[in-house]
Structure 1
């Protein structure tokens, strides 16, 4: 099978999701709901750099996934409803790969990669996936389906490490009228 996202930039990938209801519905299973854009983020936020933010989806906790700036490839910032947030990926496809491939962004940033090379974090994520499978028995098949239709890569390995590096980048820390958000990293 050819890679369906080959040559597709962030805007085209987002347009594919918006124009294909079954793909949008599939992503809702992964708590990435484009219909939540209508409600906006829980509060107005900005970045220190002044780059514009565009909400593209929300999650069940009230968090928002926001594209930064303009252009064919844009970083993605997560703005949490509990005052935590930051950069999760340098492009939309990688942000989706994380959303689809991990139990959730919060679990993936709950502990550091650490001196063990991320072994404890990966064990934690395996445990959270096992808990998900208890009420979502088709999790693995749904992940494969989403990755195939959107041309996403696996979320483990370099992409998980990139999430941690991105979340530490203070330039992308959301700022509200109350000040900067907390880091998602624990």
Structure 2
């Protein structure tokens, strides 16, 4: 059994761990009922494994042993966020505001993502001072080492940037856009 398959099995069998990953990390294995026939233009297999509260979904593609993890938003953006489930969970736990880092990436600018991450971390910790404790519990339960935020931002940027045209995500509504958003971090008046 691959490391990713083992992690997914552990999450499915441990209700407390599943709940912890759902809140605050937005990886809810109970949210897998998606329609619109998602598929990859390459023809590689695609399997939904979790969802989030915004209507987005996490998928794995390809064959074992390690399958890339995709995220598809409810707004029509999609892309690979990690090379396997282990790396995806490290990202979600260590950088729970990863979607906003992409949204405020100024079309994929790494420096913009770094700036956004700094503001987002500050705001999230102000709203949820218990987050570091939840991060430590989730990482320990999964046996994962979570890297520092700057390293996670760089890996997320590189992975999303390297999702190629053969990796086109589509469904019955059409082709999805990439995950990099157009907004600079300064778009939010609190971050100027």
TM-score range, shorter chain: 0.7 to 0.9
Partner of 1:178: 173
Tell me the CA shift for residue 159 of structure 1: 3.5
Cα 1:13–1:103 shift into 2, 3 Å: closer
- Residue correspondence of structure 1 range 79-118 to structure 2 within 5 A: 79-109=72-102, 110-111=104-105, 114=109, 118=110
Partner of 1:133: 125
Structure 2 regions of 5+ residues with no counterpart? 182-192
How many residues align? The count is: 175
Contact 2:39 2:169 in 1 (8 A): yes
Query: Any idea what SS the aligned residue of 1:108 has?
Result: helix
Tell me the TM-score normalized by structure 1. Answer: 0.84
Q: Which moved more, 1:123-132 or 1:154-163?
A: 154-163
Q: Which runs of structure 1 show a deviation greater than 6 angstroms over 4 or more consecutive aligned residues?
A: none
Distance 2:148 2:66 in 1: 19
Tell me the CA shift for residue 172 of structure 1: 2.6
Tell me the CA shift for residue 155 of structure 1: 5.5
The RMSD of aligned alpha carbons is 2.1
Distance 1:51 1:81 in 2: 21
Partner of 2:113: 121
In the alignment, is residue 64 of structure 1 matched against residue 65 of structure 2? no
In the alignment, is residue 20 of structure 1 matched against residue 1 of structure 2? no
Distance 2:8 2:160 in 1: 22
Cα 1:107–1:48 shift into 2, 3 Å: same
Out of 22, 39, 46, which is 2:39 matched to?
46
In the alignment, is residue 165 of structure 1 matched against residue 158 of structure 2? yes
Out of 136, 139, 143, which is 1:147 matched to?
139
Structure 1 regions of 5+ residues with no counterpart? 1-6
Q: 1:39-73, CA deviations, whole angstroms, 9 ceiling, x for partnerless residues? A: 22x53211111111111110011000001122121
